[in-house]
Amino acid sequence: MAGFTVSDLTDYVRENADRIFTAAITQAATLQYPGINIIAGIKNAESIMNFTNTAPFQAGGVCSFNASGSSVFSDRVLTVTKLKWQDTFCPETLESKFLSTKLIAGSNYDSLPFEQLIVDQVVQNITSGMEQLVWQGDTTSTGNQVLKQMNGWLKVIDAASPVYATATAALTAANVIAIFDDVYAKIPVALLARPEYPLVAFCGWDTFRKLIIALKDADDFNFNVNTTDAYKTGEITLPGSGLMVKAVHGLNNIATSQAKYNDRIVCTYPQNMVYGTDLANEYEEAKFWYSADDQNVKGSIKWKAGCEINFGSEIVTYKNS
């Protein structure tokens, strides 16, 4: 239902006038993670240029020139999807409720009470939705208005021939350590010990919690969860490997839809993951205005978003069988 819903509020009670609380909304941690390749200024689509080279050695000591090796340019097309949020607010709806204390005097309301509160909450909700969308977005999905808008990284990765860790029926506290060990073992050796490729294994907070509990209970690595801030930061170095594990809400299991994306782990270097937009953080720019024709206050936010990767072969991912 668009606009204000006030059926659950009692009629005007002065002592309740300022008791308005907002829920804590997940921030888009993935897009804030250092190194994620964010490309702005895309109106529709843009080619991401990739380059690979081989330089085979040859026997020297002879007067000859033999060209060998290869230098290959390739590209992947990053297409952005146009997204928007819009709503209409009728201030008169609030007249019989305690919120009426915030309305201006008179019967003509050309401004929106609690505008900053509403704008902040809308932006937070969009940020939370974007966190899910960049990972689990799938245009073939049904029943989820957010996730069907575009394809996120998981669908892009699965179509790009990544390296798959050994699948199990489900990720549990009993097998989670072995699964992360397998992810680490399958990382292409050329990516190891390369400072320019800081590897990170992204997972949902539900998977991360299982890993923390399993490590605590195993007690095989002198790991003491009480001496870390992992439960706050969602970051831990996998004991014995040096691999960074990062929990993000975008990979949390969604019970009502997208079951095929449950329990996913994605390990790569952040620069390999590309997010495209027109103007970075443009969804934080909201417009509210009074519409004299229908005497409502209207709000609108528009933005563009798209997900791509550079090299599928440099991604190790886990998914259930």
For residue 121, is pLDDT > 70? yes
For residue 7, is pLDDT > 60? no
Amino acid occupying residue 271: Q
Task: Give the model's pLDDT for residue 35.
Answer: 93
> What share of the chain in percent tops pLDDT 90?
41
Task: Give the model's pLDDT for residue 230.
Answer: 77
What's the rounded Cα separation, in Å, for the pair 107 and 280?
Answer: 40
Q: Which residue has the higher pLDDT, 300 or 7?
A: 300
Question: Token pair for residue 18?
Answer: 């300022």
Strand-strand pairing, 163-164 and 200-203: unpaired
As to burial, measured by CB atoms within 10 angstroms (0-12 exposed, 13-18 middle, 19+ buried), residue 298 is middle
What's the rounded Cα separation, in Å, for the pair 201 and 187?
Answer: 11
Phi, psi of 19 (to 5 degrees): -90, 75
For residue 187, is pLDDT > 50? yes
For residue 166, is pLDDT > 80? yes
Residue-by-residue DSSP string for 43-106: SSEEEEEEEEEE------SSS------EEEEEEEEEE-EEEEEEEEE-GGGGTTBGGGGGSPSS
φ/ψ bin of 129: left (φ > 0), alpha (ψ from -120 to 50), beta (otherwise): alpha
- To which residue do tokens 């000859």 refer? 64
pTM to 2 decimal places: 0.80
As to burial, measured by CB atoms within 10 angstroms (0-12 exposed, 13-18 middle, 19+ buried), residue 150 is buried
pLDDT averaged over every residue in the chain: 81
Phi, psi of 205 (to 5 degrees): -65, -30
Q: How is the chain split into domains, by residue range?
A: 24-38+78-318
Question: Token pair for residue 172?
Answer: 């549990």
Task: Give the model's pLDDT for residue 10.
Answer: 45
